């Protein structure tokens, strides 16, 4: 009789733990979905908040911008101003003038004007760190971040003229392998500030290297090396060259706290689509679609308040399969590992994660910080607890019977 009571108590406890596991499973798997990024496939940004009517407040953007992670683009009466980039736009002619950056030497105009033939803006819209200027199928994207980027997309062959400012001149012309994105590239510099202009179409450089002409058939990109007081200048420089040679497929910036989150996506390859699906504190989910024929890098920017990437208990998965951490960022950028992997660079709360995706690797990517308690109360952890309790129960019964 006593044996039956003890066995009943043990069985009841096991059933209770099983019930807890079934209740906990959907709760742990659920999350607050983030808004989808918007744009033409080459960029996206979004926000989510506990109060959807208020959106994300300026303080969150200011915090992100202060960490050199996420800019905020504004536009009014022909003047665009971000935390890093500024420019003037003639809305009647579509000509951009006085395009510059807040550099390490102060505010500096780098391009006198950019003229796109036949481009008369129908609308100018700012979302997060991006200004989108549209005329039918022709789109200009201006990104505000430590490097500042002008990106032109066209459907028909279009003549473009760029006139450099100050002492900025073309210092080098490159023709890369045709299999690379942006085959034709120009290095521009004044000795202090360095940038690049790239396209799939050849350039004509005149006026002692200060005037650039190109008949663009797909897209043209202008981007500068970061000149702000950034904590990872060596990595930013290496990443810039990785962008130039087509190694970096996309850049994602995320910030979140208990109440709200913001994210920004910038794709460097037209054939690659990146969509953020969920941003919460300590978790990021995104999908990588399209084509990844050569293998590519995914750059993720965040801060320690959103997710502590320096701890050992960080889980990075592709389609549910956990990938390993590499030892060196340069190994990912130039070593082309055989398998998917990632590396973390952190300094004073500012974090960057590089994820290497081998050729033909696309799918769902999850980055999640996991603590011991969450592992303990996960479905697998609860199952292990139940199994342990079961073993103890069986051992107790055996001992009791022997007595």
The pLDDT, as a whole number, for residue 16 is 42
DSSP strands (E only) in 78-137? 79-81, 85-89, 96-103, 106-116, 123-127, 130-135
With CA atoms as reference, report the closest residue to 288 among 70, 64, 44, 32: 44
Q: What is the spatial distance between Cα 109 and Cα 373, in angstroms, rounded to a whole number?
A: 53
Highest mean pLDDT among 239-243, 278-282, 312-316: 278-282
**pLDDT one-digit tens code per residue, 31-48:** 333 333 333 333 455 555
Predicted structure pTM score: 0.61
Q: In this structure, what token pair is assigned to residue 76? A: 């009014």
DSSP strands (E only) in 176-319? 184-189, 194-199, 203-206, 211-216, 219-224, 248-256, 260-267, 272-280, 283-290, 296-303, 314-318
Question: Minimum mean pLDDT among 123-137, 140-154, 242-256, 288-302: which range?
Answer: 242-256
Token pair 């910030």 in the structure block, residue? 255
**pLDDT one-digit tens code per residue, 114-141:** 999 999 999 998 876 788 899 999 999 8
> Of the CATH numbers 3.30.420, 2.40.30, 2.20.28, 2.60.40, which one belongs to the domain with range 31-39+245-370?
2.60.40
Domain spans of the chain, in order of start: 2-24+378-402, 31-39+245-370, 70-229
Q: Looking at residues 151-165, what average pLDDT do you find?
A: 95
Residue 2 or residue 169, greater confidence: 169
C-alpha 283, offset from chain centre: 14
Q: Looking at residues 21-26, what average pLDDT do you find?
A: 32
**pLDDT one-digit tens code per residue, 174-222:** 898 765 667 899 999 998 888 899 999 999 999 999 999 999 999 999 9
The pLDDT, as a whole number, for residue 230 is 45
Name the strands in the sheet holding 324-325, side by side, starting at the edge strand that comes first in the sequence.
43-49, 260-267, 248-256, 296-303, 350-357, 341-347, 324-325
DSSP 156: S
The pLDDT, as a whole number, for residue 65 is 53
Indicate the average pLDDT of the chain.
76
**pLDDT one-digit tens code per residue, 341-360:** 999 877 655 678 899 999 99
Residue 121 or residue 228, greater confidence: 121
Q: What is the spatial distance between Cα 400 and Cα 389, in angstroms, rounded to a whole number?
A: 16
The pLDDT, as a whole number, for residue 150 is 92
Task: Label residue 385 by pLDDT band (50, 70, 90).
Answer: low
Task: Label residue 224 by pLDDT band (50, 70, 90).
Answer: confident
Residue 317 or residue 233, greater confidence: 317
CA quadruple 113, 118, 120, 125: dihedral positive or negative?
A: negative
With CA atoms as reference, report the closest residue to 164 among 139, 130, 187: 187
Task: Label residue 97 by pLDDT band (50, 70, 90).
Answer: very high
Q: Looking at residues 84-113, what average pLDDT do you find?
A: 91
Task: Label residue 253 by pLDDT band (50, 70, 90).
Answer: confident
């Amino acid at each position: 009789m006593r044996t039956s009571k003890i066995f009943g108590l043990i069985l009841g406890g096991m059933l209770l733990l099983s019930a807890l596991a079934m209740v906990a499973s959907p709760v742990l798997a659920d999350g607050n979905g983030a808004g989808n990024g918007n744009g033409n496939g080459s960029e996206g940004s979004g926000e989510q908040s506990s109060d959807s009517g208020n959106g994300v407040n300026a303080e969150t953007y200011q915090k992100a911008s202060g960490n050199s992670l996420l800019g905020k683009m504004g536009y009014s009466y022909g003047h665009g101003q971000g935390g890093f980039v500024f420019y003037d736009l003639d809305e009647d002619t579509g000509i951009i003038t006085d395009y510059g950056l807040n550099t390490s030497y102060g505010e500096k105009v780098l391009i006198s004007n950019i003229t796109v033939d036949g481009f008369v803006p129908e609308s100018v819209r700012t979302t997060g760190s991006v200004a989108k200027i549209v005329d039918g199928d022709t789109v200009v994207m201006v990104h505000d971040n430590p490097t500042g980027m002008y990106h032109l997309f066209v459907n028909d062959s279009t003549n473009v003229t760029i006139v450099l400012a100050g002492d900025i001149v073309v210092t080098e012309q490159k023709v890369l392998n045709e299999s690379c994105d942006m085959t034709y590239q120009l290095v521009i510099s004044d000795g202090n500030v360095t940038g690049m202009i790239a396209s799939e179409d050849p350039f004509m450089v005149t006026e002692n290297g200060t005037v650039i002409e190109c008949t663009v058939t797909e897209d043209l990109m202008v981007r500068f090396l970061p000149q702000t007081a950034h904590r990872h200048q060596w990595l930013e420089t290496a990443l810039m060259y990785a962008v130039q040679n087509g190694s970096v497929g996309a850049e994602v910036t995320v910030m979140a706290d208990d109440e709200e989150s913001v994210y920004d996506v910038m794709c460097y390859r037209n054939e690659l689509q990146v969509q953020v699906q969920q941003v919460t504190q300590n978790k990021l989910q995104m999908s990588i679609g399209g084509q990844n024929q050569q293998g590519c890098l995914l750059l993720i920017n965040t801060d320690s308040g959103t997710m502590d990437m320096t701890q050992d208990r960080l889980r990075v998965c592709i389609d549910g399969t956990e990938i390993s951490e590499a030892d060196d960022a340069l190994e990912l950028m130039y070593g082309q590992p055989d398998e998917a992997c990632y590396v973390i660079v952190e300094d004073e709360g500012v974090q960057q994660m590089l994820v290497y995706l081998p050729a033909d690797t696309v799918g769902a990517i999850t980055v999640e910080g996991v603590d011991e308690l969450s592992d303990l109360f996960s479905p697998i952890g609860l199952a292990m607890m139940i199994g342990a309790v079961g073993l103890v129960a069986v051992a107790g019964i055996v001992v009791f019977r022997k007595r």
